[in-house]
Structure 1
Amino acid sequence: MSTFSPKSLEHFHNEIAIKFQLYNSLFLSLPFSKIEKTGLLLSVLQNYCEEGYAQGQNAEEIINSFVQNQTNFDSEQKTLDLLFRFIQYIERQIVLFDALEDAAYDRINDISGPGTLKHLQNKLSDHQYTASEKKTLENFSVRLVMTAHPTQFYPGSVLGIIGDLSKALQHNQTDQINILLQQLGKTPFLNKKKPSPYEEAVSLIWFLENVFYHTIGSIANEFKSTMPFMDPADHPIIKMGFWPGGDRDGNPFVRAETTYKVANSLNIAILKCYYRDVRKLKRRLTFKNIDTIIAKLESDLYEQAFLRTINTIRTMNDIIGPLKLIREILFTENNGLFIENVDELIDKVHCFGMHFAFIDVRQENEVHTSLLSAIMENNGFSNASYEEMPEIQKINFILDQKLDATPDQFEDEIFSDTLLTMQTIRKIQEDFGEEACNRYIISQCTSALNVIEVLALFKISGWNINEVNMDIVPLFETIDDLVKAPIVMKSLYELPSYKSHLKRRKNRQTIMLGFSDGTKDGGYLMANWMIYKAKEELSKMSKEYGIDVMFFDGRGGPPARGGGKTHKFYASMNKEISSKEIQLTIQGQTISTNFGIKESARFNIEQLINAGVTNNIFQDESNNFTKEEESLILSMAEISLKTYLALKNDSNFVDYMSEVSPLKYFGMANIGSRPAKRGKVEKLTIKDLRAIPFVASWNMIKQNVPGFYGLGTAINSIIEKGQFEQLKAIYKKSLFFRTLMDNSEMSLIKTFMPLTSEISEHPIFGDIWQRINAEYELTSTNLLLLGNHTTLMEEYPVDKLSIQMREKIMIPLATIQQYGLSKLREMDNSGEEELSNSYQKMIIRCAFGIINGGRNSA
């Protein structure tokens, strides 16, 4: 999602491509057993892969040919040992490539160019704000919500090495680079066990402390004078959210005690950050009447953050108050010396408060429905008669009836924990402020009743119904849910009980839209178009009811999960779509990829702010789709959906994914605390399968179906109707549509069908492979025609080169994984348990490298 200067390609060649070859050669000289031979043999295997696929060979044939011609192995175990060493070697090559890209980030990306705040600053310098624009900007913000979705395969120790290696590479410290490569060679890339939800939270808090705290603070301090709407004292324009410890949807290991523990850890972490800054200030603020104030603040922060012996710092003012007093004395008695240092810390406190990042609680709607049913039964009410009631009567019933329940009444742990969680939220608000936890998200929300059920449960768990300081956020994910979303919200807006709740929440309603599950449900084009149209209709309808609607996008890393060039989507929204806030999830690998270092975090945050402000101030209605253009896109989306569903509903589709891809082994990887699918049913179904393993599995076999399937056929239909020139005009006019197509090109360029070509002749799965391959070819051809390009990603040469280099590094890894899958299919319950386990481990290890190597591929 980068914007490049003209010299970016040259910098990429010099700073990354050439240096990768140079430093990669250092691996050959590392003093480890057999590593020299491993490195040399790996380069030979890479040639075998490239030539073999070009000649129509499959993965098993390539590996067998390599072993036969390049080794004298006399056992399958020796081959396995060598393949495992290849995997370990490639993993470290990928780390080196990551570190090189991080080290060169500010030279590859135009950090003062289009999309940055300096660029925005210039655009706004002579702008005459209208009253409406001023009001809009005063309330505009970007909310980045960190999630613990399992797409980050690097353990913390390896992430630390990447950071140190990047710094050494920036300064060409050859000796240090050599030492770090040696450390890398000895450092395990595997977690010994699955992390707990709390451990996941701790690992992400590291990014808050070491990246976001400094980056957001410096952005706010630097631009608040020239762009007053960015002054955090009035309104923090950048806010951090947090899902680890709060996200219960399908994660059976999150508990109420986890939620509080994470909130407490976030509080400790931010106090430690403040303490470190105060300690630095103390070294400069040695003046009379100031030294005692700063010393007391330092002492209080230390005792509360590190020793936990006092609890005197309860609110932001307990920190800002002493700092403002210091500022006043500096101004009146010390010529303003070091006043800018004090201002920067004050800005940080306004940005992060006492909570650092707000915790979202998320639970699936059926849990609330089932819990209320159990509560009614315990209170002597008939569930049968309740079920027969119309929806409005059910709503009035659960709000009006006095229903009593306590967590210890239920044997079902989910029921007791749900009530306990609602009590815990109130304690978190009391201890760390309302902003620490004030949103409750309902997954798979399908009705107004689902929302009111949560409000009723807050009342049952001890909250005063008129004092529920929580935003209740419905999450609409499937195509059907997106279509019904306006109807659901209209019903809510007209309910007197919910209108009263919204009034207490300043008539602001947040609605979450799920890109990942939407794509899994309806394919790439239809999902994105329906989300766009849902936003449009929900914006219009909310405005009619006097409600400020905010959209919270559940985005992943790759285009198939709402990723790609995300900032361009926000810059291209229809003028009628509410864009008062940009809210999105940053998940797993996306965090370390796009926000893992200060340079990338700052660049990507600035891109989002610029996109939101630009859309609010400079977007005009001429960019809106006409009715004819909408009709054309909708007809494409319908054909795309029909094509995608024909594939997804094939009776062999799930088995194809299970046998051809590593899908069924995804849950064996110790990367996340939650299971790969919802529910406890053993048989795999598309409905229960989570979007992350769904998309990741397609990526690992280099087919990337969720990122393009159906699009080629849809464009072809437009060509056949003689409407291709109209479509090209839309592509040229609409940044939204063009970005959608560009992101699909990214999915296509990461697709490599020869990897699985042997499946083309499989008696059961051959037809599915052939259909995917045909759609890949058709989509590639039609997108090139649409963009008038000669190659995919022609307008993103640096992104393209990065992908191509990464794919070249990973092709032996993908080949080894396919080899393992092929061997397991051949065994098929043959009883060779030890050998079968080895191949399973090999498949999982390859998954780590492929996901890490692709950056944002899951």
Structure 2
Amino acid sequence: MANEGGEGAKGAVRTENASGSPMADPAAALRKDISDLGHMLGDTLVEQEGVGLLELEESIRALAKERRKKGRRGPAAARMQALIEGLDTKTAERVARAFTHYFQLVNLSEQHHRTRRRHEHARQGDLQLGSFEREIALVAKSVPRDAFEALLARTSVELVFTAHPSEAQRRTVLDKERHVAHLLVRRDRLDATPAQNEELTLALREEITTLWQTDELRTVRPRVGEEVKNTLFYLEEVLFPLIPKFYAELEHAARKAYGEGVRIPCILHFGSWVGADMDGNPNVTPEVALDTAYAQAARVVGLYLREIDALGAALSQSTRRTTVSEELVQSIAKDAEALPELATELASVAREEPYRKKLRFMKARLEARHEHLVEARRRGGPFLELPSYAYASPGALLADLDVIARSLDENRGALAGRRRVCGLRRQIETFGFHLAKLDVRVPAAWVREAVVGDLLKPEKGPGIRAMEAVANIQKITAGQGAESFILSMSHGADDMRASLVLARACGLYRPKEGVATVSIVPLFEMLDDLERAAAEVERASQAPEYREYLALRGNLQELMVGYSDSNKDAGILSSSFALYRAQQELVEVAKRNDLKLKIFHGRGGSIGRGGGPSQRAIESLPTGAIDGRFKLTEQGEVLGWKYLLSEIAERNLEVTTSGVLRASSDTGAPDVQREFEAAFVDVAHDSLEAYRTLVHDSNFVRYYEESTPLDEIAMLNIGSRPAHRKDQGQRRLEDLRAIPWVFAWTQSRQLVPGWFGAGRALTRLIAKRGVEFVRSMREKWPFFASTLEAIAVSLAVADMDIAGRYASLVRDRALARRLFTRIALDHGRAVRAIRRIFDQSTLLGHAPTLERSIALRNPYVDPLSFIQIELLRRKRAATSPSPQAETELERAVLLTINGIAAGLRNTG
């Protein structure tokens, strides 16, 4: 496939890096990768499908480019539409697949380029924005060492993986794409021979050809267990090996900024909703949650067994060559008493290798735990008592590891394995005996129903069973595998207090014994919920029985704020400000009531659901909202983009953690922000008024469903969770789940959740306050700046010409004209307002790399949109198609959904 990616690859332009030293054009290598992979894909198309498909694809792409250049409603657009209308369904599918595969290769190239640039920065000695070394050095300018160590002591960064129905690609496809990325890494080696380069080119061709021959679509909807396996992939294969390096980099940065001896506690943790989120997914039950916990517990012990073997291979020290500590000798003797048979075996095998002997005993104790977990899971019953010699807790395993570490320290072993021991220690601290902590989320109504009647019923209701699942998971994971009990659509204080009743019944809250091992987490999602969140938390904290519970938890209150449903309820500007104000008010409530807050941010991957750069999002939070404690959902649709490649995963962990440390060290908001906040009250009001006028139109849902591929998205087998809360009869706005809601708007290039309402609100703000005041708001207020940047991206990705073509699918032409005109007018107003505030001629003039990426993708995304519109038109016009024709048409539509998602790098 021809492409623009190689246009500048031959003559690299010399530029300068941040330190002023000359370097090659940083985009040249990326363009070469895209060009090479595009040509390989073109060769594959010819080989697999014939030259006709490549020529057809190139003709359509050329017309798409001409349309962009000479007029979106001009002759090129008409010719492209006519050409696509003349395609039969099978040919349209093949063309869509060609564009989709191209985007997959472009996305891989861009991911690989991120790792390449990271290496280049490190090699040049540059400090990347968000790197530990840069950010901690900045913290050190205002925060003394003792205050920094206190901050570290209270810091907890929790990343929680979810499995919402938004990851459009199959795991098989993701695995193959990872292989391509690894080949690109190998291809960058400067010392590769011509023969090796030829072999790498052949290997890339093989992967691209195999991808073409692989079905992109799942034939059946994934079960919860398969979603769990997908999440385990990232935890086991990418994140587990990264942890030692993550802490090594953090320790290095702290040492450079503050000197030797800064203690770095375990501050990074992983959680998961996969297999435990019971809100709206009938396939997730308490039994499934328990099985998930068993699976994760067995897998993490398996990882430790592998590491213990590797450590045993490394620690080959012999007492003939060095000494060991008396503590280690005594520890081995104690192990021999507990495991006499193994001791007899080791008497001859590892006689003079004490570290290996100790590690063999540790392995036996881990194996006993592993076997017990596997058997308990097979039975499906409770976790019975472990054998006396098995590790009962991660602490016991860490204690044995520390014995080895101290012995190495005392016997000149700092460079003879000590670093590897420390690395394993960090992994155990991070993943415990649970791998990822399972958050159990339930509808708050379950709790209310349970307190009213379920506790008295012989047959327990879902609320009490869900709380029991938390208790059972804690039993099999040494108390660490579950803690948060999240109340979706919470009413606030009453639900929080009612949850205590369930916690008592399940043994998780025993005040007389000083036990409170469950975290009751109200989730505030809708605009009204956010506006009363602070008052509800304060009301709960002042109730005597709840105050007693909080005291047992160190006065720590966790609560969750939802970005997805609040956006759907109020639009982007109003919901963003409501989230901001809610957190400000919660900080004040915490101060008045001597509480510590942990705010759990339910962000999605798309801008309409709170997505965007992690560090920018953290910077935009109000002062005091973090204070070391930060919890964030990592949504299903971004896991591949953020965690498929280890270098990118490492960068994400570093940027998020350094952002939390920087934000937590800020002393307070400038006084000028208060004036900006007061001005934004009107902005939020104007935006809300515009947004609700649109979505509360009596025929809005019909317009939305018919102008987007919503029903077709529901047919994609991409998640175990239903796409709608209500499947029968006419749906209402509240019946539409936030994720497919955004997914469908994105597919139709309207992207309403990412910008609508901003046109009217920003235009009025400029008229009322003057453009210089608004520019000052952007310059001095991170919340406003990050919100504008996100809106600008959504506006740039949206395309009102193509959106209008989707609107033409609405059967009621008057309805389509009325609502689409309202959408298009606000888009135009928003574009003009953003350009004026940023004082630039294009929407993304402040982000030229992103602007170019979108511009280069458009000639490939646009044809997919045209094809999708034509296929949707045929599908909806068909009266009595044959089963085969109907299947072919549905499949072709689904492939265009995959392609547009890949091209826009966005789903829901």
Deviates most, 15-24 or 775-784: 15-24
Q: Tell me the residue number matched to 2:648.
A: 600
Q: Tell me the residue number matched to 2:588.
A: 540
SS in 2 for 1:687: helix
Residues 148 and 187 of structure 1, relative CA distance in 2, 3 Å threshold: same
Residues 652 and 284 of structure 1, relative CA distance in 2, 3 Å threshold: same
SS in 2 for 1:622: coil
Alignment RMSD, CA only?
2.7
Aligned match of 2:447 in 368, 372, 384? 368
Check conservation: 1:59, 1:818, Cα contact below 8 A. Answer: no
Aligned match of 1:697 in 723, 736, 744? 744
Q: Tell me the residue number matched to 1:65.
A: 82
CA distance in 1, matches of 2:723, 2:656: 31
SS in 2 for 1:138: helix
SS in 1 for 2:27: helix
TM-score normalised to the size of structure 1?
0.89
Shift, 1:792, TM fit: 1.7
Check conservation: 1:314, 1:354, Cα contact below 8 A. Answer: no
Q: Tell me the residue number matched to 2:456.
A: 404
SS in 2 for 1:435: coil
Q: Tell me the residue number matched to 1:781.
A: 832
Shift, 1:723, TM fit: 3.3
Q: Tell me the residue number matched to 1:399.
A: none
Shift, 1:837, TM fit: 4.5
CA distance in 2, matches of 1:240, 1:318: 21
Q: Tell me the residue number matched to 2:889.
A: 839
Deviates most, 708-717 or 56-65: 56-65
Q: Tell me the residue number matched to 1:770.
A: 821
Residue 498 (1) aligns with residue 546 (2): yes
Q: What does 1:587-666 align with in structure 2 at a 5 Å threshold?
A: 587-622=635-670, 625-626=673-674, 628-666=675-713
Residues 271 and 461 of structure 1, relative CA distance in 2, 3 Å threshold: closer
Q: Tell me the residue number matched to 1:257.
A: 287
Residues 793 and 216 of structure 1, relative CA distance in 2, 3 Å threshold: farther
Check conservation: 2:173, 2:216, Cα contact below 8 A. Answer: yes
Check conservation: 2:451, 2:502, Cα contact below 8 A. Answer: yes
Check conservation: 1:152, 1:852, Cα contact below 8 A. Answer: no
CA distance in 2, matches of 1:810, 1:569: 28
> In structure 1, what residue type is equivalent to 2:222?
P
Q: Tell me the residue number matched to 2:400.
A: 322
Residue 191 (1) aligns with residue 218 (2): yes
> In structure 2, what residue type is equivalent to 1:171?
R
> In structure 1, what residue type is equivalent to 2:93?
F
Aligned match of 2:786 in 720, 730, 739? 739
Residues 461 and 591 of structure 1, relative CA distance in 2, 3 Å threshold: same
> In structure 2, what residue type is equivalent to 1:367?
W
Shift, 1:55, TM fit: 4.8
> In structure 2, what residue type is equivalent to 1:531?
L
Q: Tell me the residue number matched to 2:306.
A: 276
Q: Tell me the residue number matched to 1:18.
A: 32
Residue 433 (1) aligns with residue 433 (2): no
CA distance in 1, matches of 2:662, 2:880: 62
Q: Tell me the residue number matched to 1:757.
A: 804
SS in 1 for 2:734: coil
Check conservation: 2:687, 2:757, Cα contact below 8 A. Answer: yes
CA distance in 1, matches of 2:76, 2:280: 36
Q: Tell me the residue number matched to 1:577.
A: 625
CA distance in 2, matches of 1:91, 1:9: 33
CA distance in 2, matches of 1:532, 1:538: 10
CA distance in 2, matches of 1:284, 1:55: 64
Residue 816 (1) aligns with residue 859 (2): no
Q: Tell me the residue number matched to 1:379.
A: none
SS in 2 for 1:584: strand
Shift, 1:757, TM fit: 2.7
Shift, 1:606, TM fit: 1.3
Q: Tell me the residue number matched to 1:420.
A: 465
Q: Tell me the residue number matched to 1:586.
A: 634
Shift, 1:157, TM fit: 1.1
Gaps of 5+ in 2: 1-16, 188-199, 318-352, 376-385
SS in 2 for 1:257: helix
Aligned match of 1:39 in 34, 37, 54? 54
SS in 2 for 1:200: helix
Deviations 1:71-107 (A, max 9, x none): xx7xxxx611101111222222122112212222223
Shift, 1:841, TM fit: 2.8
CA distance in 1, matches of 2:75, 2:469: 55
Deviates most, 79-88 or 19-28: 19-28
Shift, 1:231, TM fit: 10
> In structure 2, what residue type is equivalent to 1:553?
H
Q: Tell me the residue number matched to 1:166.
A: 181
Identity %: 23
CA distance in 2, matches of 1:187, 1:294: 44
Q: Tell me the residue number matched to 2:905.
A: 855
> In structure 2, what residue type is equivalent to 1:275?
L
Check conservation: 1:146, 1:587, Cα contact below 8 A. Answer: yes
CA distance in 2, matches of 1:529, 1:129: 33
> In structure 2, what residue type is equivalent to 1:404?
L
Residues 578 and 105 of structure 1, relative CA distance in 2, 3 Å threshold: closer
Q: Tell me the residue number matched to 1:390.
A: none
Q: Tell me the residue number matched to 1:386.
A: none
Check conservation: 1:404, 1:460, Cα contact below 8 A. Answer: no
Shift, 1:505, TM fit: 1.1
Q: Tell me the residue number matched to 2:239.
A: 212
Residues 661 and 174 of structure 1, relative CA distance in 2, 3 Å threshold: same
Residue 289 (1) aligns with residue 354 (2): yes
Residue 201 (1) aligns with residue 216 (2): no
SS in 2 for 1:438: strand
Check conservation: 2:275, 2:289, Cα contact below 8 A. Answer: yes
> In structure 2, what residue type is equivalent to 1:442?
L
Check conservation: 1:529, 1:637, Cα contact below 8 A. Answer: yes
Q: Tell me the residue number matched to 2:487.
A: 442
Deviations 1:201-227 (A, max 9, x none): 111111001111122331113323653
> In structure 2, what residue type is equivalent to 1:13?
A
Deviations 1:377-404 (A, max 9, x none): xxxxxxxxxxxxxxxxxxxxxxxxxx53
Residues 442 and 59 of structure 1, relative CA distance in 2, 3 Å threshold: farther
Aligned match of 1:81 in 90, 93, 98? 90
Residues 302 and 648 of structure 1, relative CA distance in 2, 3 Å threshold: same
CA distance in 1, matches of 2:74, 2:708: 18
> In structure 1, what residue type is equivalent to 2:560?
M
Check conservation: 2:305, 2:367, Cα contact below 8 A. Answer: yes
Q: What does 1:675-754 align with in structure 2 at a 5 Å threshold?
A: 675-754=722-801
CA distance in 2, matches of 1:428, 1:634: 45
> In structure 1, what residue type is equivalent to 2:138?
K
Check conservation: 2:167, 2:907, Cα contact below 8 A. Answer: no
CA distance in 2, matches of 1:187, 1:157: 9
SS in 2 for 1:625: helix
> In structure 1, what residue type is equivalent to 2:725?
R
Check conservation: 2:561, 2:601, Cα contact below 8 A. Answer: yes
Gaps of 5+ in 1: 376-402
Shift, 1:9, TM fit: 11
CA distance in 1, matches of 2:174, 2:79: 33
CA distance in 2, matches of 1:836, 1:320: 59
Q: Tell me the residue number matched to 1:804.
A: 855
CA distance in 2, matches of 1:644, 1:59: 34
> In structure 2, what residue type is equivalent to 1:248?
M
Deviates most, 702-711 or 796-805: 796-805
SS in 1 for 2:814: coil
SS in 1 for 2:296: helix
Residues 462 and 304 of structure 1, relative CA distance in 2, 3 Å threshold: closer
Residues 343 and 779 of structure 1, relative CA distance in 2, 3 Å threshold: same
Residues 15 and 498 of structure 1, relative CA distance in 2, 3 Å threshold: same
Check conservation: 1:16, 1:97, Cα contact below 8 A. Answer: no
Q: Tell me the residue number matched to 1:393.
A: none
Residue 313 (1) aligns with residue 391 (2): yes
